[in-house]
Structure 1
């Protein structure tokens, strides 16, 4: 089941970015095979810290992360959904937002050491894909 929205949705571009952040956070956390309770708890703190300047409501990211965790989606699918969402709203992806997005994902990857090979693969792919947007 894909949790996505059509272009004519009530979500604006920044909300879609936060939706994608939730998908990416799930993808990074799930890449090591399972999501630890600590990763979920730290995600909330990371989002609050990284986006405290009020870009958008981080609840969207937290909600999507939790839905995907409960539905046991695989990390590759969640990643692809996220990149598709970011493409839709790429006109709002400023260099600052891109840096914040990467910072959040790096912190999610490091939330429960060690960073695994699969997490590194996801992070490297994300850095490449973000530059293309």
Structure 2
């Protein structure tokens, strides 16, 4: 994978992590998350099929949100040289939409989002 692919792989992992933080990901929730990613990256370079694949693999492997989050941050560290301030802001905005996709935003989702904001600033 090149650096840009790694960023979008990490976005898929983060979307899974945020969505999973409040419990099981329901089919309707997954579809709404896919629509958010499609809308956010329709003019970009991301292949949202990547997020679909990631969701399926993580769901089948029953990964918890903490593990998925850790993997995402590791991917972002590897390609941090490509993380512009604009990409960082967009990533945070997308994850906020993911967290708010199924109200209310839970305590665990808030924890993940706060941690992400802190971790993104360090990259």
TM over 0.5: yes
Unaligned runs of 5+ in 2: none
Distance in 1 of aligned mates of 2:52 and 2:6: 13
Distance in 2 of aligned mates of 1:131 and 1:114: 26
Name the structure where helix makes up a greater proportion of residues. Answer: 2
Q: 1:28-60 CA deviation, whole Å, 9 max, x = no partner?
A: 011012112222101111111111222222221
Contact 1:20 1:61 in 2 (8 A): no
Query: How far off its partner does 1:96 sit?
Result: 1.3
Query: How far off its partner does 1:121 sit?
Result: 0.2
The number of residue pairs the alignment matches comes to 123
Q: Provide the aligned C-alpha RMSD in A.
A: 1.0
Unaligned runs of 5+ in 1: 1-10
Structure 1, 57-66 or 73-82: larger mean CA deviation: 57-66
Query: How far off its partner does 1:67 sit?
Result: 1.2
Contact 1:38 1:111 in 2 (8 A): no
3-state SS, counterpart of residue 57 of structure 1:
coil
